[in-house]
Amino acid sequence: MLFENGRKRGDTVSGYKVAILGASGAVGRMMVKVLEERNFPVRDLKLLATERSAGKKIDFHGEKLTIEVAHPDQFKGYDLALFSAGSSVSRSIALEAVKRGCVVIDNSNAWRMEPDVPLVVPEVNPEELENHRGIIANPNCSTIQMVVALKPIKDRFGLSRIIVSTYQAVSGTGLRAIEELKSQSLHMLNGETKEPEVYPYPIAFNLLPHIDTFSENGYSREEMKMINETRKILKDPKIKIAATAVRVPVFYGHSESIYIKTIEPAEVIEIRQVLSKAPGVVVYDNLEKLQYPMPNLVEDNDQVWVGRIRRDLDEDCGYHLWVVANNLRKGAATNAVQIGEELMKRGLL
């Protein structure tokens, strides 16, 4: 028996001591699942959350682990911590964990734009990990899938412009939003109404062009994240990016309608070829066979699916793509675990 309630059994066992903060949430639970699926070498897994979730149990490799209340000393002796709490929790506790010797991979917005914090998508900019000082930021879900699809195109043809409209699943908001979409849908189908609790307006059979809060320039913070994080990850502060972020009544899987301008002209078939060889990408783009990415295709996988690749009809170097990925997996938990794997590979853990 290797794991039990975060306590280590036997010093000779190899692997890392891993803690997950926010383990009871949608992303936290997925982190546990992905660590298991990918056989990340864990010799001790500690699950942490607020008092409200303490005592809940989560399966890991066949064992029931109990969630404990998070406090700084919980990270003592741990090698790696995956954080999926809010930004304010991350701000207050991440440095405490680092001080105690832990490398933190943080899924919140707290550290992403700090100049000395690497913001990493392993398929795109793994080399940034070399400079880490204890905290590594996991990008926003919508950003991750976009840069996985666009980086190979940028490397081959250059990239000067991105205009993206998103179609984002409710699981990005969390478990309560998943419940809200379920119960609201049932109520509406029965001709009843139910006051929304998680979102300001009904999400069932509706859409909200509103993700996170709004900033003064008229953009939502989600839209600004996509703009700023993409520039940082692609190391191109001048790339022109605009985003419109929209919440849709889908449980899992974010979709993105993306317009790009490359610097060198490309044939559509060349873009398809480049993407076909790109890590983490599935080109699913055969209109005769009605093959195009959809959220229901990404429920159980970690790939970024790209389809509807076509040339703009009016502009040289203009192209349109449709990109779908599981926001809890590649957009959050899987990317975090992949960062952990990359740290291992590079001897940085």
User: 102, 132, 141, 317: which one is catalytic?
Assistant: 141
CA separation for the pair 168, 246 (Å, rounded): 6
Quickly count helices (H) and strands (E) in the chain. 7, 16
Concerning whether 102 is annotated as a catalytic residue, the answer is: no
Using CB under 8 A as the binding rule, whether residue 57 contacts a second copy is answered as no
Between 65 and 250, name the residue whose CB sits nearer to a second copy. 250
Least separation, in Å, of the C-beta of 11 and a second copy?
45
Contact status, residue 153 vs residue 160, Cβ threshold 8 Å: no
User: Torsions phi, psi of 334, nearest 5?
Assistant: -65, -45
Instruction: Report DSSP letters for 54-115, one per residue.
Output: TT-EEEETTEEEEPEE--GGGGTT-SEEEE-S-HHHHHHHHHHHHHTT-EEEE-SSSSTT-T
Least separation, in Å, of the C-beta of 292 and a second copy?
5
Count of residues touching a second copy (by CB under 8 A): 55
- Region of 36 please: left (phi>0), alpha (psi -120 to 50) or beta: alpha
Build a one-symbol-per-residue string for 283-322: x at contacts with a second copy by CB under 8 A, - elsewhere.
----xx-x-xxxxx----------xxxxxxxxx--x-x-x
| Beta strands 240-244; 135-137: pairing state | unpaired
CA separation for the pair 77, 74 (Å, rounded): 8
Using CB under 8 A as the binding rule, whether residue 206 contacts a second copy is answered as yes
User: 61, 132, 187, 254: which one is catalytic?
Assistant: 254
H runs (alpha helix) in the chain = 26-37, 87-99, 141-157, 175-189, 221-233, 268-276, 334-345
Q: Judged by CB under 8 A, which stretch of 114-122, 132-140, 150-158, 204-212 contacts a second copy?
A: 204-212
Q: Does 26 count as an annotated binding residue?
A: yes
Which of 19, 167, 172, 342 is close enough to bind a second copy by CB under 8 A? 167
Report the Cα 278 to chain-centroid distance in Å. 18
Concerning whether 141 is annotated as a catalytic residue, the answer is: yes
Beta bridge partners of 242: 163
Which of 205, 264, 279, 345 is close enough to bind a second copy by CB under 8 A? 205
Using CB under 8 A as the binding rule, whether residue 168 contacts a second copy is answered as no
Q: Does 10 count as an annotated binding residue?
A: no
Using CB under 8 A as the binding rule, whether residue 186 contacts a second copy is answered as yes
Q: Does 25 count as an annotated binding residue?
A: yes
Q: Which residues bind a second copy (CB under 8 A)?
A: 163, 165, 167, 181-182, 185-186, 189, 200-202, 205-210, 214, 217-219, 227, 240-242, 244, 246, 248-251, 255, 257, 259, 268, 287-288, 290, 292-296, 307-315, 318, 320, 322
**Residues with catalytic annotation?**
141, 254
